[in-house]
Structures are given as C-alpha cells and as structure tokens.
Amino acid sequence: MHQIALLSVLILKTNQKLTYQMKRSITLILLTLLSFTISTAQTITKKQYHATRTTVAPVIDGVLDDEAWKQGDWVDDFTQYEPFNGKKPSQNTVFKILFDDDNIYVAFKAFDTAPDSIVNRLTRRDNVDGDLVGVIFDSFHDLRTGFLFGISSSGVKYDQMFTGDGQNQDGSWDPNWWAKTSINKEGWIAEMKIPFSQVRFDKNSNGTWGLEVARVFYRKNEQDFWVHIPKDAPGLVHLFGELTGMDNIKPRKIFDVTPYAVAKAETFKKEPGNPFLAKGQKYGLNGGVDAKIGITNNMTMDLTVNPDFGQVEADPSVVNLSAYETYFSEKRPFFIEGNNITNFNMGIGDGSNGNDNLFYSRRIGRRPEGDLNLKDGWNADIPNFTSILGAAKLTGKTSKGLSLGFIDATTGEERAEIDTVGGRIFQTVEPLTNYFLGRVQKDLREGNTLIGGIFTATNRNLDENLAKTMHKSAYTGGFDFTQFFRKKSWMFNINASFSQVNGSKEAIALTQQSSAHYFQRPDNDYVNYDLNRTSLFGSGGRMQIQKLNGHFNLLGCVIWKTPGFEINDLGYMQQADNVLSVLWAGYHQWEPKGIYRNYNINGDLYLVNDFGGNILGEGIEFNPSITFKNYWNFWAYANVNTPSLSTSILRGGPMMKLPGSTTENAGISTDNRKKLNVSIYINSNTGFEKSSNSFYLGSDITYKPINYLFFTVSPGYTKSFTELQYVTKLSYNGADRYIFASINRTTINASFRLNFNLTPDLTLQYWGQPYIASGKYYNYKYILNPLAKEYTDRFHVYTSAQSTFDEPNNQYNIDENTDGTTDYTIGNNNFNYQFFLSNLVIRWEYSPGSTVYLVWSQTRDNYNGSGQMDFINNMGDLFNKDNNIPHNIFLIKFSYRFGIK
C-alpha cells in the first residue's frame, strides 16, 4: 500500500517472485530447473543486544526523561536495506531495550538533521504513511516466527505477525500494547511498552530471543535495519540478531474478555400490503462477548458468542454473467487474525486459481441459500445472513516447532417468515450447521523441512426440503511437505488433499451438475455420472519447485484437481477436472542505476488440460515493471492465449472450441509519498476471429492536503463485446438448443474514500461506491457444431424470418423452421443495474482493545431493462428521493476489554 509500510520492506523478496503475470491461472513443473546453477546465500554473523532489567517501569509518554532510561546501552550501527542495500544510513538511529516481570520496553531516538521535514501523517492503525520505527521479536527463537511492533512519528501503531521465515504475514494481528512519540530539535522519539502476554515464548526459554530493529526514513524512501538483510536473502527471520539477558522471565497467559452491545435502527422504502415492510423502519438491540484466553504459554484461544460485524465494509458491487461464484475477501476480524496457519492454498498467484483453498471463511455466516416457493400475493421476510451462534479458534506454536490452528463454529437455523395473506408460516432457508477446521504444521531441521496436515468438516441438520439441495456432510483433508535446499536458496513443496461430500441423491446430483463439475456433459465419458449416488469423492494437489535467491528466479509448478474434487462447503474452488502447469522465470535488479531504482522482468509458459486427456488451453505471459529514480512506477503485461477447448461455456453441454485471445495492460503511478498521488492503468483484450474485445480504463487519485486528512477516488470505465454470451438451454424437436447472443456491456463505477484522523485512536472513515452496468443482447443464435473447424460454423444466428420481437411480452418469438408457427420463445435479457453502497464509520479506541463504533451504511439500487448506458439519467434515477428510497442502517457498538493477568 504505502512504500513506507514495513510490510513492504519485509516481504519484497516474496512479491518479486510472484507478480502480476500470475494473475490468469498458471502452473507446470519442469524438473530441468535443477540444471541451473544454485546460488548460495550470504552467511551473516549474528549481532547481539543485551537487555537490561529495570525495577521501576518508565512512563510511556514519548519523552525519555524517566530514571529507568538511564539504565542500559544505546545501540546504533544500522545498515540500509532500501534503496542502497548494504550502505550506511542517511540518518543515525539508536535504540534501547529494558524489561521487568510483566513488560518489555523499547525506546528509539530517530535523529534527523531537518526535523521540520519529518512526515508526520495521522492514519488508521496498520495504514502507516510517514516516518516509522519498529522492533521485531522472534520470541520463540525458532528462526521462523516474528512479532512486529511499529510506530509512526505521529503515533500510529503498526503491528504484524510473521511466519514461515517472513514469507507469510498477518497484518490483522492487533495485540494490546502502548506507545507514544514526540518530535524535538534532534529528530523524533518513540517509546513502547509491550506486555509479555502479547508475545509467545516458552517458559523454559534460555533468555535469548531473535531481534531485528528497523527504521523508515520516509522522505528519502529509505529503509534501514539493525541487522543487515541482503536483497537476495531467501527468508528473513533466520537472519535476525539476538536479544540476550532476558533471564528469569515467565510467560504471561493472556485473559481478555470483551463484551459488546449494539443498538441498531433501519429505514427503508415502505411497501403497502407487505406487512414486513409496511412501516419502513425497524429497531433492534443485540449483544455478545469476545474473549482471548491463553490456554498454555504458546497457545491462545479466541472465543466469540453471537458476534456482530456491523462495522465491516460492504462487498463491492459486481454483475456476474459467468457460471462461477464471485470470490469476496474476508473482512471480519475474528476470521482474519491468525489465518496464516488455517490457510491451505491449492492454487498459485493472485487470480481465480490463486483463490482455491480448503478454507474459505466466508462460508461461515453466509447468506441463506434455501429456496422459497411463494404464491401470488405472498410476502416473505428472509434473513440477510446466517447468524453465528458461537465460534472458537485455537492457534499457537510450541517450542518444538509444532504450529496448531483449530476453528469450530456453529451457525443457527434461519427461517423465513411468510405472510400467506390468511396467516403466517415459517420455512427453513439455512440449517443449523457446524464447521470445523484443524491444521497442524511441524518445523524440522531449523525450519528447512516443514510437514503439515489439515482436516475440515461441515455437518448440517437438514429438513426434508433442504436435504434435496444441500450436502448433509462434507469433509476435506490434506498434507503438505516443504523442503528447503542449499541455505534456502531452493524450495520444493507438495500439497495433496481429498474431499468427500455426502447427501441425498438429489443433492449429489446437483453437485455433479454444478459449474464446478458438469458431469452431465455428453462428451464427458471418463467420469461416472450417477444420479443414484449419495456421496462424491475427489482429490487435488500442487507440486512446485522454486529458486528463491539472487537476481534470477525460477518456478515450476503443477496443480491438479480430479473431476470429483468438491471443497465448496467450507472451501473455495471454481472448477475441478483440470491440470494446470507453468514454467516461470523472473529477473529482479534492485541496485539503483541510471534512470531506475529497480526493475523486474517476468515471463511464463502455461498449459491446461483435463483428466480426459484434452488440452484445454495454453499460452505465454510477459510482465515487466520498473521504479524510476523519482519514485514513479511503470508496469505492463502481455498475454497470448491459443485457441482453446471450453468444458463450461455450454453449461453442461459438450465441449466447445473457442478462439484464442491477446491481453495487454499497462499502468503508471506517481510518487505515493507526495500529497497528490495518481495511478492510471488500462487493460485491453482482443479475441481472435473478432469473437470478443474489451477495454478498461481506471485510476486511483489520492490527495493528502493535511497530515490528518486523506481523499481517494478510484473511477473505472469498462466497455466490452462478446459474441458468445450464454443465455439459456431449450429443447426443440427432442434436441437440446444452447441459446447464445452477442452482448455489448458498459460499466461505469467509482470508489470514494475519506480518512479523517483526529488522533491515532479516533478516526472517521467513509467509503462510497456508485456502480452502473448495462448489457445489450442482440444477434441471438444457437450452437450448431461446437467443434467445427471454422469458427462461424459452430453457431447459427437467427435470421429476421426466424426471430421477431414481441414487445408486449418483452420476448423474442422463434420460428426456427419458418413455418409460420412459434417454436419457442427467448426472454429479453437486456439490463441496466444501478447500485450505490456506502459506509461511514467513526472508531474510537478509548483504551487498548476497547472501542466505540458509530456506523451509517446506505444501500441504493435500481434497475431497468433498456440495456443502454445513460449515466446522467441513471444516476438521477439512483438518487431520486421520491422513487428510490435508500436502505439505511444506523448503529452504535460499544465494547470494553477486561484484561485479567
């Protein structure tokens, strides 16, 4: 996000390996990689700092005039990491560490020859934008795990947990600690108090921890470390120095209980005749409790009863015309924190394949999925989300290197209340459900060997109706093995997993017919499509080998998912029955020279096939990027897809041959340290045979007029054409008719953000998103021969004699054999959707872990069937106060943390 964020310093080595070019779906393994020369990482002598015990705790006020700070030694000797790796820093930095029975204390003096130029911006926690200092403790001293405590010159906290030797980061980790800063004529000062209960270490510790100290000198975009980290170092934590002298300290088990209360009011459009919406308003009170309990020295249990996430930002609007489920990121704090250990990724990169995972926490508390059969005149009150009755999460790591992560959550039965005019009935739309996940991973040989496993379970209490559409139970399991070679300059990894879902014949039939499987395809002769089965089993995996250090990096990978692999009860997957393969290479230059500060060049070849032996697609990708001396950035991407076979475009019909395509995009961004920062990016896609095209133009504009106020606007414009857009499937003369149309789509959207930060603990944040999307269908057609050699021979466009528009019924009457009689009809699918979403959140953390939220959320939506984009009038319709009444939610949430030692 911001270059000054210490996260970007610590994970640069990871990001430079898997950049944007992975976005599309890429993976293959080529063991010929081993023929390349293996580089050896540098060996670095361990620095040591000896902490001093104090009997009088310092007052945390950002002024180092306490008697306690007269003890111990100030230490400097920092080295640049960025931009000139290994050089002396531009400014001097010193630090000192004290401790007592309960806390560890850290003081910094960040000297600055121009203190009036210190960038002192107020932001929300973890979104630091300005000068920064931080300390990282490897309190396990396992050379793989680090706890980062950072503070900006304006007093904004920045904390993070590192696992996997720094390869994985958990920015959602928010421990309770204290820090203050001050600016003086010599620079600025930071003072920290970190309770031992907030870091994990073994009671039999020998008093030695891993230690790294860092500073970000913002106006020069400089990052300095106490222990030098080479740019080509594979990993991070194993290179830390050592903190000694921590003798006779005892781990503190955390015991925090945080009850909360919520008052909520809703207003919406009145609907006369609908008893659930007749008043146009409703009110409610709610409450619950969260707890964080130290089970052992190294294990923490998080508990939540009846959680409320009303302060969480809404998902962005999207119009999805594909057969696949849209992926939304997790934003709920309970499920975000500690997700590194519960993660079991089955993909690679950051595109659709990168989201494949055995655990997708958005399944817990999802929108109810049961169907209602409402008669004319009936109205229903349907819950928006499934209530989470309670959840527990146990995470931690033992001194022997065993990482554990367990989650158990129960969601309640949700029933829709139906007004039948003559009375009320209730119908279950989501069953009582239990979700379980268990994850273990063991470090061996000083973190050079990792072995792990995972098991998930979903069990539902189904009634007769829901049993026809939902799985009674679903289980997944897997193991992972990682081996590092040659001082972690090479890595081999394999993940393997299985899945089994159980249910009624009707439910398992729906699974076989779903977009993830399409067992019913007439040419799918290598799977067992059985309408009488009551379970489905499958497996999947990923194998990769990677060169991690040096300027030149390599990756070879294979991902496979058998036809019966099904993980969508508690995981996420768009499509089974494929094998994706990639060979990737990248070159990274990090030493500034000439006009650049650094640059990357990456490229890959990929291949996709299914378990029937069909080659579904192949292509090549290329992705360069550069950071210039003035801190402007430029990046580009190019992709060529060869003609492919699609097993999904006919949505259960036979495979169809599709033209290839090319994709190009590019972007440029200005120096994000400045008050005004602008990014502009374009994307273009062109299908061969004139089968499709699209163009996207987007921008991010951020303005920081003063240190405590940020504005960001992100407009976007998309224009696209697709000749083959699926419409429906019909039957004609005993044969299937797969109906398609050409479609012109236009989308205009924008995202507005405002951050107003009165203090580091009192913030106001606003987010708003207008979104308008239109689609015009025309040239309706049906599929003739999906595998014909010539593209135009694969479908037939209805002639004017075959298709006439019936305006009163808003449909097309099709007379396929032109005998004067309508053979079938096709509905008019034109659309114009208009949405506006917004969240206003005022957050006050009046004490560490205790907060007050004031929230206003608004939703507006509108629709017409014109199929045309008319932005001005569409916006007018969306905000018409007479005809389009918004849905408003106002809430106040109060929580108080009781910390018990």
Question: 265: pLDDT confidence band, cut at 50, 70 and 90?
Answer: very high
Q: Residue 407: beta bridge partners?
A: 393, 437
Task: Check whether 417 has a pLDDT greater than 80.
Answer: yes
Determine the Cα–Cα distance for residues 572 and 346; give it in Å rounded to an integer.
Answer: 10
Are 516 and 573 in contact by the 8 Å Cβ rule? The answer is yes
Asked if the model's pLDDT at residue 349 lies above 80, the reply is no
Average pLDDT over residues 863-879: 93
455 forms beta bridges with: 438, 477
901 — pLDDT class (breaks 50, 70, 90): low
Do 202 and 132 touch, CB atoms closer than 8 A?
A: no
Find out whether 324 and 574 touch, Cβ atoms under 8 Å.
Answer: yes
Give the 3-state secondary structure of residue 661. strand
Q: Can you tell me the mean pLDDT for 345-354?
A: 67
Of the pLDDT bands very low, low, confident and very high (cuts 50, 70, 90), residue 249 is: confident
Three-class secondary structure assignment of 258-274: EEEEEEEEEECCCCCCC
pLDDT, residue 36, reads: 34
Give me the count of residues in the chain. 901
The pLDDT of residue 204 is: 65
Report DSSP letters for 566-624, one per residue.
--TTTSB-S--SEEEEEEEEEEEE-S-BTTEEEEEEEEEEEEEE-TTS-EEEEEEEEEE
Would you say 665 and 679 are in contact if contact means Cβ atoms under 8 Å apart? no
CA 551 to CA 489: how far, in whole Å?
Answer: 12
Window from 96-105, 330-339, 681-690 with minimum mean pLDDT: 330-339
| AA letter at 322 | S
* Residue among 115, 107, 113, 108 nearest 184 (CA): 115
CA distance 568 to 566: 6
Model pLDDT for residues 81-133, shown as the tens digit of each residue: 999 999 999 999 999 999 999 999 999 999 999 999 999 999 888 889 999 99
Q: Flag whether pLDDT at 28 surpasses 80.
A: no
Give the pair of three-digit tokens for residue 470.
């939902």
441 pLDDT band, cuts 50/70/90, is very high
Average pLDDT rounded to a whole number, residues 357-368: 92
Phi-psi region at 218: left, alpha or beta (left = phi > 0; alpha = psi -120 to 50): alpha
- Distances in Å between the Cα of 848 and the Cα atoms of 175, 294, 895, 896 are 9, 18, 11, 9
For residue range 702-746, what is the model confidence (pLDDT) as tens digits?
999 999 999 999 999 999 999 999 999 999 998 999 999 999 999
Q: How far is CA 149 from the centre of its chain?
A: 23
CA 891-896-899 angle, 5° bins: 160
The phi, psi pair for 610, rounded to 5°, reads -110, 180
pLDDT for 350 equals: 57
Is 152:146 a contact under the CB 8 Å cutoff?
A: no
pLDDT of 126-152, one tens digit each? 889 999 999 999 988 888 889 999 999
* Cα first-last separation, the chain: 36
Does residue 280 contact residue 268 with C-beta atoms inside 8 Å?
A: yes
Q: Which residues contact 253 (CB under 8 A, 6 or more apart)?
A: 197, 293, 294, 295, 296, 297
Residue 21 pLDDT more than 60?
no
Distance CA 889, CA 104 (A): 43
pLDDT band at 342 (very low <50, low <70, confident <90, very high): confident
pLDDT tier at 313 (50, 70, 90 boundaries)? Answer: low
Per-residue 3-state assignment (H helix, E strand, C coil) for 151-193:
EECCCCEEEEEEECCCCEEECCCCCCCEEEEEEECCEEEEEEE
Report the pLDDT averaged over residues 181-207. Answer: 88
DSSP code for 75:
B
Give the tokens for residue 756.
């107003």
**Average pLDDT for 340-355:** 72
**Helical residues (DSSP H) of 465-529, grouped into ranges:** 505-513
Tens-digit pLDDT profile for residues 35-85: 333 333 344 468 999 999 999 999 999 999 999 999 999 999 999 999 999
Q: 849-860, pLDDT tens digit by residue?
A: 899 999 999 999
Percent of the chain predicted with pLDDT > 90? 73
Range with the poorest average pLDDT among 364-373, 465-474, 554-563, 639-648: 364-373
461 within 8 A of 432, measured Cβ to Cβ = yes
Reported confidence tier of residue 4, pLDDT bands at 50, 70, 90: very low
603 and 583 in contact (C-beta within 8 Å)?
Answer: no
Question: Are the beta carbons of 173 and 339 closer than 8 angstroms?
Answer: no
Q: Residue 841 has what pLDDT?
A: 93
Coil, strand, or helix at residue 503? coil
pLDDT at residue 34, as a whole number:
31
Confidence of residue 311 (pLDDT cuts 50, 70, 90): low
C-alpha angle 419/423/424, rounded to 5°? 50
| Amino acid 456: pLDDT | 97
Taking alpha carbons only, the member of 162, 151, 258, 263 closest to residue 210 is 162
State how far the Cα of 656 lies from the Cα of 700, in Å rounded to an integer. Answer: 39
Across the chain, mean pLDDT equals 89
pLDDT recorded at residue 619:
96
Q: pLDDT tens-digit profile of 766-776?
A: 999 999 999 99
- DSSP helix/strand/coil, 545: strand
Three state DSSP letters for 796-841: EECCCCCEEEECCCCEEEECCCCCCCCCEEEECCCEEEEEEEEEEE
Q: What is the largest CA-CA distance in the chain?
A: 101
336: CB partners within 8 A, 6+ apart: 172, 330
User: Nearest to residue 585, comparing CAs of 550, 610, 636, 627?
Assistant: 550
Please report which confidence band the pLDDT of residue 470 belongs to, taking 50, 70 and 90 as the band edges.
very high
Q: Which two tokens stand for residue 5?
A: 């964020």
Whether residue 2 is predicted with pLDDT greater than 60 in this model: the reply is no
Which pLDDT score is estimated for 38?
Answer: 33
Count of CB atoms situated within 10 Å of the CB of 456:
25
What is the token pair recorded at 481? 């093995």
Categorize the per-residue pLDDT at 251 as very low, low, confident or very high, splitting at 50, 70 and 90. confident
Distance CA 824, CA 808 (A): 16
Whether the upstream peptide bond of residue 272 has omega within 30° of 0, thus cis, is no
Reported as a pLDDT band with limits 50, 70 and 90, residue 677 is: very high
Backbone angles phi, psi at 731, to 5 degrees: -115, 135
Tokens of 294: 């130290």
In whole angstroms, what is the distance from residue 715 CA to residue 457 CA?
42
pLDDT of residue 205: 66
In the three-class reduction of DSSP (H, G, I as helix; E, B as strand; rest coil), residue 751 is classed as strand
379-381, strands of its sheet edge to edge: 379-381, 414-419, 424-430
